[in-house]
Amino acid sequence: MKNILELKSVTAGYDNKVVLKDVNLTVKENDFLGVIGPNGGGKTTLLKVILGSLKTIQGEILPEGNDRCNIGYLPQINQIDNKFPIQVKDVILSGLMSHKRLFGRYGKEDKLRAGELMTQMGILHLRNKNIGELSGGQLQRVFLCRAIISDPQILILDEPDTYVDSHFETELYGVLDQLNDHMAIIVVSHDVGTISSHVKTIACVNGSLCYHDSNIINEEQLKTYNCPIDLITHGEVPHRVLKHHH
């Protein structure tokens, strides 16, 4: 399987504060990586580095610059400004913006693709609504369509299970399983249990990054990875932290 993104000895942070130290990570085609870790451990910082919105202090990311792979990104829903008066269909099409020349218009095919995705996510009836009128789960679906409309090589989701009902959560992971046939997926979650049965491998981020080449991980391993279980699960600690991948 081909490597599509590599982080080599990356150190990153803000001003003089180092948040991630000496991080190594390789993403291959068809990877489905779950990123877990305690609050403030650096999960979002890792995503910013991968997305190129935060410069590294040290280390390198391959491929460099313009050769960087195409990445689709679903931000945390609470970071989205839904007061901005924009319609659902235009939000989804805006996922193609960086692929269009400046002032490039969306073509017929782009609009058809947006329609297909909205149908797939069950939100076609919302296409002319302003995003401010949507529920958290509906907004999540809209931004997922936006993230995948350009058919990226890697899809990154930051806490996609927040603000969604359990029905959509199951549906979401069903959609992700399908997408994983032709794109790598990185999903950040606080909740080990939720992502457990869907990811193929796991990275624990708590200042450093420990890669676990399996979706089954136990409490002991989490401790050695500097990822204390009590900090990353809500409520009861499950006996078996992660289930088998089906």
Out of 5, 31, 32, 41, the residue judged to bind ligand ATP by CB under 6 A: 41
Q: Does 78 bind ligand ATP (CB under 6 A)?
A: no
Question: Can you tell me whether residue 21 is helix, strand or coil?
Answer: strand
Shorter beta-carbon distance to ligand ATP: residue 138 or 189? 189
**Residues 6 or more apart from 1 whose CB is under 8 A from it?**
28, 29, 30, 31
Radius of gyration of the chain (CA): 18
Residue 19 vs 199, nearer CB to ligand ATP: 19
- Tell me which residues in 11-30 interact with ligand ATP (CB under 6 A): 14, 17, 19
Q: Which of 44, 140, 153, 189 binds ligand ATP (CB under 6 A)?
A: 44
* 75 lines the binding site for ligand ATP (CB under 6 A): no
| 85-114 footprint of ligand ATP as x/- string (CB under 6 A) | ------------------------------
Strand order in the sheet with 184-188: 71-74, 154-158, 184-188, 32-36, 201-206, 208-212
- Within 168-207, the residues that bind ligand ATP by CB under 6 A are 190
233 scored as a contact of ligand ATP (CB under 6 A): no
How would you class 155 by CB atoms within 10 Å of its CB: exposed for 0-12, middle for 13-18, buried for 19 or more?
buried
From residue 135 to residue 174, the character string flagging contacts with ligand ATP as x (rule: CB under 6 A) and all else as - is ----------------------------------------
Residue 14: enclosing H or E segment and its boundaries? Answer: strand 3-14
Beta carbons within 8 Å of 12's beta carbon, 6+ residues apart: 18, 19, 20, 23, 45, 46, 48, 49, 54, 55, 56, 57
**Residue numbers of the site for ligand ATP (CB under 6 A)?**
14, 17, 19, 37, 39-45, 190
